[in-house]
Structure 1
Amino acid sequence: MQTQQMPGGYEISIDPHRLDVEVIHKFLAEESYWSPGIPRTVVERAIANSLCFGVYHGAAQIGLARVVTDKSTFALLADVFILEAHRGKGLSKWLMRCVVEHEDLQGLRRLLLLTSDAHGLYRQFGFEALGNPSRFMEIVRPDLYRSR
């Protein structure tokens, strides 16, 4: 899948040259609950080292799903969003379908994500609560970007 189209002038593309870093950074830094204040340089580096699914309406980027993966055993789904003006049209479901069906993400042992508010969406695509959360460990710095 390089590009998939949906009625209404929407499309999803994994072409990294189409990504609008300004739109992505603005959403992540100013509107998301998970990365307020994130520096643009961090967003640029994250994009460069991930498999990104851009959602577009015409030429304008209106959404994203970023996947950090080795394309063999593991992936972490991150930074999933659709801009508010385009919500309620089934775009996040279509985006998730494109992610979970992408050829580079088949046969993985583990696909993870973190969410505070979209459990219902992700359950539709096979995600479940951690089966054995005591096996997972983390280092969390929730205010990292605010202190810069």
Structure 2
Amino acid sequence: MQTGELTISNRHDDLDLDMVYAFLSQETAWAQGMPRDTFERAVAGSLCFGGYVDGRQIAFARVITDEATFAYLCDVFVLPAYRGNGYASALMKHIFASPALASLRRIVLVTTDAHHVYAPHGFTALANPERYMELHRPDVYKTA
């Protein structure tokens, strides 16, 4: 799909895995220090989307899903030099319109500071946060 100058693809062969891995493992708090083999297993088991400008990947999003009822959106980023151009919004519109995700009952995500990116696409705070639980291991990559 082409949106203005942004091309979006969910083909694994189109992904610049070296760039995505470097950005996630070095520039994000949530994947800091992730081993490469962990990253590769995550990508292999997920529906991944890349955003491209002039043939260069500048955005990424990963969706963990059963493609029937539920999905977890994660690892979303636009490279800093390309932010502020509406690319994240275009990527979200494309993702949520994709046939594998358009009819899901629930899509969740976790964000520290990008609520403004997701709210226009229908995301809200949890209606019943007391129902959600987590097993969080923030140091797991340090022992891997």
| TM-score (ref. length: structure 2) | 0.95
What are the residue-to-residue correspondences of 1:1-148 with 2, within 5 Å? 4-8=1-5, 10-148=6-144
Number of equivalent positions = 144
Residue identity opposite 2:21 in structure 1: H
Whether the 8 Å CA contact 1:75–1:111 is kept in 2: the answer is yes
Shift of 1:101: 1.0
Query: How far, CA to CA, are the matches of 2:96 and 2:3 in structure 1?
Result: 17
Shift of 1:120: 1.2
Which ranges of structure 1 fall in alignment gaps of 5 or more residues?
Answer: none
Shift of 1:112: 0.4
Query: How far, CA to CA, are the matches of 1:71 and 1:145 in structure 2?
Result: 28
Shift of 1:7: 2.5
Shift of 1:34: 1.1
Query: How far, CA to CA, are the matches of 2:142 and 2:74 in structure 1?
Result: 19
Shift of 1:60: 1.7
Q: For each residue in 1:22-45, what CA deviation from the matched residue of structure 2 results, as whole angstroms up to 9, or x when unmatched?
A: 111101111012111111111111
CA-atom RMSD in angstroms: 1.1
Query: How far, CA to CA, are the matches of 2:95 and 2:102 in structure 1?
Result: 10
> What percent of counterpart residues are identical?
46
Whether the 8 Å CA contact 1:36–1:146 is kept in 2: the answer is no
Query: How far, CA to CA, are the matches of 1:36 and 1:71 in structure 2?
Result: 28
Structure 1 moving runs of 4+ over 6 Å:
none
Which ranges of structure 2 fall in alignment gaps of 5 or more residues?
Answer: none
Whether the 8 Å CA contact 1:81–1:92 is kept in 2: the answer is yes
Shift of 1:5: 1.0
Q: For each residue in 1:5-62, what CA deviation from the matched residue of structure 2 results, as whole angstroms up to 9, or x when unmatched?
A: 1333x21101111111111110111101211111111111111111111111222211
| TM-score (ref. length: structure 1) | 0.93
Whether the 8 Å CA contact 1:11–1:57 is kept in 2: the answer is yes
Q: For each residue in 1:49-89, what CA deviation from the matched residue of structure 2 results, as whole angstroms up to 9, or x when unmatched?
A: 11111111222211101000000000000000000111111
